[in-house]
Structure 1
Amino acid sequence: MPKILITNDDGINSRGIKAAVEALQGLGDIYVIAPMFQRSASGRAMTLHRPLRAKRVAMEGVRAAYALDGMPVDCVIFALARFGSFDLAISGINLGENMSTEITISGTASAAIEAATHGIPSIAISLEVNREKHKFGQGEEINFTTAKFFLRKIADAVLRKGLPEGVDMLNVNVPYDANENTPMDITRLARRMYQPSIEERIDPKGTPYYWIVGTQCPKEVLEPGTDMYVVKVERKVSVTPINIDMTAKVDLGQLKKHLGI
């Protein structure tokens, strides 16, 4: 049986990770290693300056499940050290979409990227939410039925056929109002998803403190063919092939001349 790793950045208690386990039943032996706590926007962070603590947890339908007091990337490294390699890695189902080149900020996408660097075909899957408060909860009010359907469909195809040459992982985003008849489309990453800024506030002692906030790019500036356009405008499921080699596709000889090397 194939070995399947499931992780996330919403934490071991997120309903999204339980939904992923349910979606993949029968496709292989499932192992779950996820953070003990919410770790959204942790990116490729690793825990290097303190020891990690792991707690085995009971979870129906899996071979083994652990909660790790670290980051999503730590969870992938722990899984490989404890259980060896895997045939497929799934990160999600995340609460809130992860799109554009900003996926490098996402703990969800970064866990899949980490698995891909070890040669494991990987899928990051996120479910769009229509209320901001849902992004950092456990998913109590969210219906994962459609996301589960598409996760199983894509995971089954990857297990049977692998990923095409040049593709290391897939970044999947499911609209909150999608159903099983919603079309899927292959997309590229949008340039960016948010316009970030700093909001200054004053605490009761008169000392300023700061929040990083952001507004989502308006629909009218989204470029057709990108993940954001397909999800936000066309209301389709976006599947973006990712290659972890970020080397720019340029003429290296021409770049040498440009830089005077």
Structure 2
Amino acid sequence: MNQRPLILVSNDDGVDARGIHALAEGMRLLGDVFVMAPDGPRSGMSSAITTTQPITYRVLSEAEGMTICSCSGTPTDCVKLAVSEVLDRKPDLLVSGVNHGGNEALSVHYSGTIGAAIEGCVLDIPSLGVSLVHYRSEADFSEAVRLAQRVAKDLLRNGLPHGTYLNLNVPNTPHVKGLTICRQADGRWIREFDRVSTPDGSPAFRMSGEYLNYPPIQPDNDTQRLSEGWASIVPCLLDVTHHAFMNELKSRGLDDAAAR
């Protein structure tokens, strides 16, 4: 009854990234922190899992209220391993990040940082992904950590509905206007690759791209709110069923079970 909350922290930038160390220290004020993060960068891994080789981990440091471990697997592997095999009790909260770069709009489907939050949600742990819209190494994570603390306090107190996790993105500004609840922007990436030269002259491409919203642009989408200086919170669901479309598909005669 007197135990401090147990907070599991992970990311996709790797255990040595500045963002995760800032986040872990911030979460330490709210509970006992256990970090299980990849041993190197795993950006863009989404919810990938390792199935072809064993996964290992090692303890890097232990201190009062803080244990830091590295894992050879993906962000999702990190969460699975920590909860299933390493920790002696279920975490009260999972926080993933702070990601070096935004995970707004469609990036939610690609991000390993969000993949870790999704896995926490799968395991029925209140889960939060945190990203800063800044890609350079000298990024200031203080505002992202402050806002993550605020959301984490609420989740420890009130939890989340089953199958729901939160995606928090913070704009790169010293004075964020505050938090706003909004929707995922609807759009796609265009001009996704830059051509790069190779020694033998063969074609090679580096991922780049520009995000373009589909019209009509809803004023409460996350990319819009971030551009206005707000930190965006998008509540996300594990269930990707398009429930409203089910009846239309049935009306097309594709549901043999319904016809019996």
TM-score (norm 2): 0.88
Partner of 1:244: 238
Partner of 2:120: 115
Q: Is the aligned partner of 1:147 residue 2:151?
A: no
Contact 1:89 1:123 in 2 (8 A): yes
Q: Is the aligned partner of 1:172 residue 2:177?
A: no
Between 1:246-255 and 1:94-103, the stretch displaced more is 246-255
Counterpart secondary structure, 2:140: coil
Counterpart secondary structure, 1:57: strand
Tell me how far apart the structure 2 counterparts of residues 193 and 14 of structure 1 sit (CA, whole Å): 28
Partner of 2:40: 37
TM-score (norm 1): 0.88
Describe how 1:160-239 pairs up with structure 2 within 5 A.
160-163=157-160, 165=161, 168-179=164-175, 182-192=177-187, 194-217=189-212, 222-232=217-227, 234-239=228-233
Counterpart secondary structure, 2:252: helix
Counterpart secondary structure, 1:217: strand
CA shift, 1:143, in A, is 1.2
CA shift, 1:205, in A, is 1.8
CA shift, 1:24, in A, is 1.5
Tell me how far apart the structure 2 counterparts of residues 38 and 207 of structure 1 sit (CA, whole Å): 27
Task: Structure 1: state its 5+ residue gaps.
Answer: none
Deviations 1:111-148 (A, max 9, x none): 1001101100000011111xx5x1xxxx3x12111111
Contact 1:30 1:61 in 2 (8 A): no
Deviations 1:12-32 (A, max 9, x none): 011111111121123111100
Tell me how far apart the structure 2 counterparts of residues 239 and 213 of structure 1 sit (CA, whole Å): 25
CA shift, 1:196, in A, is 4.8
CA shift, 1:244, in A, is 0.9
Deviations 1:43-62 (A, max 9, x none): 11111101122121126554
Q: 1:118 to 1:36 in 2, by over 3 A?
A: same
Counterpart secondary structure, 2:187: coil
Counterpart secondary structure, 2:139: coil
Tell me how far apart the structure 2 counterparts of residues 112 and 184 of structure 1 sit (CA, whole Å): 19
Contact 1:188 1:226 in 2 (8 A): yes
Counterpart secondary structure, 2:81: helix
RMSD: 2.2
- Paired amino acid for 1:57: L
Deviations 1:124-178 (A, max 9, x none): 011111xx5x1xxxx3x12111111101111011101112x36611100111104
Q: Is the aligned partner of 1:18 residue 2:14?
A: no
Contact 2:189 2:209 in 1 (8 A): yes
Number of residue pairs matched by the alignment: 250
Task: Structure 2: state its 5+ residue gaps.
Answer: 256-260
Report the identity percentage. Answer: 31
Contact 2:28 2:66 in 1 (8 A): no
Counterpart secondary structure, 1:77: helix
Q: 1:63 to 1:192 in 2, by over 3 A?
A: same
